[in-house]
């Protein structure tokens, strides 16, 4: 590292507490004085929708005060309504304020866990603690966290549960955390692949048991709602939202915008998914068994790509990914900073947000090719990440073998 870069890093770390305070103040101003800064539409769905849990109207509920072009239904498993149900007894303004504070605290916890997973005990040193403040400051202004705070979303809490599960050595606790997270929202179930990749068989099995327990609780407390969800609504992507909207950064969304119509899960999607999965597998094989954060990032990005709908606020995993890129075992490999820079620009600028002004309706799929290609930035970045890891992981391991130095990547 050059002396200029060292000086700049030291200056940023020294200013980290002040930068975070300024960022929090700006976030409060954004919340109070911008049109959508505190519309908390998803939080309304959680809180107002869950109020109908025991009345049989959970999946008839829609919220349209802020979204008249798309009344938002309750799309989550019934266990989520069980979790959110107590919140509807509180004044909504209080729930919103507490939710925002808890969301920011959860982001800081995610950052601290990510740094500990790449730095070990170094994460407790003063410089790494300041780095955690700096990463929290940056993370607050990535598109996933901006929209999470604007909408009152739950994703950062699910990311935190997954990371706590990975950090824990107790199979029953790891499995329970993932199973409960999947009971709230199905997407964290992909973390079960992490357990399989790490040969944590008991944790993988118990995550399925814990998820089954959330289903059982749902049937016990709200049988009709559970029956409706698991027999009719499960897997209905159309109910979740418009697949072709630029806000949907999944593989299916990107392909549909380029094609000009919903490609569904037909041949085009299958071929693209096989390419993504192959690249992900090769990337995983290039990592060491001990690289837990790298493995978790690959698994989570696979889930985001393969899911029919991955709204931009689902991509909270970008923050741990950036930390892994710049602090992890491949941080000194060629291209690490270029790849991190790509993701920082895409998410801090907010490419989907900018492109959303050019789509006349969230329901319109067809658009000019340049806009369609620009709307694939997350998919392109994900594929580039997988390919880079696969190439650089192998190259670093081979170089270490030639120099007879430990690569830190034991064979699988």
Q: Where are the domains of the chain?
A: 1-166, 238-412
**What pLDDT sits at residue 54?**
87
pTM value is 0.93
- Give phi and psi for 34, each to the nearest 5: -100, 155
- The CB density around residue 1, as the number of other CB atoms within 10 Å, is 8
Query: Tens digit of pLDDT for each residue in 374-387?
Result: 999 999 999 999 99
* 219/181 Cα distance (integer angstroms): 17
Read off the pLDDT of residues 33-59 as tens digits, 9 standing for 90 and up.
888 778 899 999 999 999 988 887 899
Q: What is the band of 407 on the pLDDT scale with cuts at 50, 70, 90?
A: very low
Q: In the chain, pLDDT over 90 holds for what percent of residues?
A: 78
Q: Which has the closest alpha carbon to 317: 385, 270, 246?
A: 385
């Amino acid at each position: 590292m050059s002396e200029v870069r060292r000086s700049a890093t030291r200056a940023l770390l020294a200013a980290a507490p002040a930068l975070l305070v300024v960022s929090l103040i700006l976030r409060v101003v954004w919340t109070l004085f911008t049109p959508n800064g505190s519309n908390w539409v998803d939080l309304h769905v959680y809180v107002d929708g869950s109020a109908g849990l025991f009345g049989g109207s959970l999946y008839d509920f829609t919220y349209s005060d802020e979204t008249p072009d798309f009344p938002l239904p309750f799309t989550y498993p019934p266990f989520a309504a069980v979790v959110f149900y107590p919140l509807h007894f509180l004044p909504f303004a209080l729930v919103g304020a507490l939710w925002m504070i808890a969301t920011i605290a959860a982001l800081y916890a995610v950052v601290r866990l990510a740094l500990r997973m790449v730095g070990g005990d170094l994460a407790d040193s003063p410089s790494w603690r300041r780095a955690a403040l700096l990463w929290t400051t940056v993370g607050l202004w990535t598109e996933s966290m901006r929209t999470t705070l604007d909408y009152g979303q739950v994703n950062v809490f699910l990311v935190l549960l997954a990371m706590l599960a990975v950090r824990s050595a107790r199979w029953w606790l790891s499995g329970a955390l993932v199973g409960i997270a999947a009971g709230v929202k199905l997407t964290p179930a992909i973390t079960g692949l992490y357990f399989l990749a790490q040969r944590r068989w008991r944790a993988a099995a118990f995550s399925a048991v814990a998820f089954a327990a959330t289903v059982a609780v749902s049937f016990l407390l709200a049988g009709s709602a559970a029956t409706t969800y698991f027999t009719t609504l499960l897997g209905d992507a159309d109910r979740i939202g418009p697949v072709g909207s630029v806000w949907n950064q999944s593989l299916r969304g990107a392909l549909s915008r380029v094609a000009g119509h919903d490609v569904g899960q037909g041949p085009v999607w299958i071929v693209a998914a096989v390419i993504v999965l192959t690249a992900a597998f090769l990337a995983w094989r290039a990592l060491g068994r001990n690289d837990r954060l790298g493995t978790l990032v690959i698994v989570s990005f696979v889930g985001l790509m393969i899911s029919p709908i991955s709204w931009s606020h689902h991509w909270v995993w970008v923050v741990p990914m950036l930390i892994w890129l710049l602090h992890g075992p491949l941080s000194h490999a060629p291209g690490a900073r270029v790849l991190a820079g790509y993701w920082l620009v895409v998410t801090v600028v907010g490419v989907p947000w900018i492109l959303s002004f050019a789509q006349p309706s969230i329901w319109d799929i067809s658009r000019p090719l340049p806009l369609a290609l620009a709307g694939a930035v997350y998919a392109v970045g994900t594929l580039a990440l997988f390919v880079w890891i696969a190439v650089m992981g192998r190259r670093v391991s081979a170089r270490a073998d030639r120099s007879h130095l430990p690569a830190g990547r034991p064979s699988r």
